């Protein structure tokens, strides 16, 4: 499957998780991650899977998470772990 389609599927999962989120922090985190996956999908070659786009999205998400954790209260335990397991 081309990388762009895989990234779009991951973005779709993030949108679904955002709809199910119990807190605003979790919802925003899921929507931010979905945006990164969509950006990776649009930048990805249509016929080639590359780990660079995944690494960029994960790095961006980890930077956003570091900023969020220092400025916002902790969300429900386990939510982020469920999100991480979804994309392993």
Angstrom distance (rounded) from CA 64 to CA 49: 24
Give the start-to-end residue ranges of the domains of the chain. 3-86
- Are the beta carbons of 60 and 44 closer than 8 angstroms? no
Q: What is the pLDDT of residues 9-57, one digit of tens each?
A: 999 999 999 999 999 999 999 999 999 999 888 886 654 546 676 777 7
pTM: 0.52
């Amino acid at each position: 499957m081309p990388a762009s389609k895989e990234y779009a599927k991951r973005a779709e999962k993030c949108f679904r998780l955002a709809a199910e989120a119990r807190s605003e922090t979790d919802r925003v985190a899921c929507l931010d991650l979905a945006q990164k996956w969509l950006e990776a999908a649009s930048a990805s070659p249509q016929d080639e899977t590359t780990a660079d786009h995944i690494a960029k999205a994960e790095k961006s998400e980890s930077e956003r998470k570091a900023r969020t954790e220092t400025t916002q209260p902790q969300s429900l335990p386990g939510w982020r772990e469920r999100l991480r397991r979804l994309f392993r």
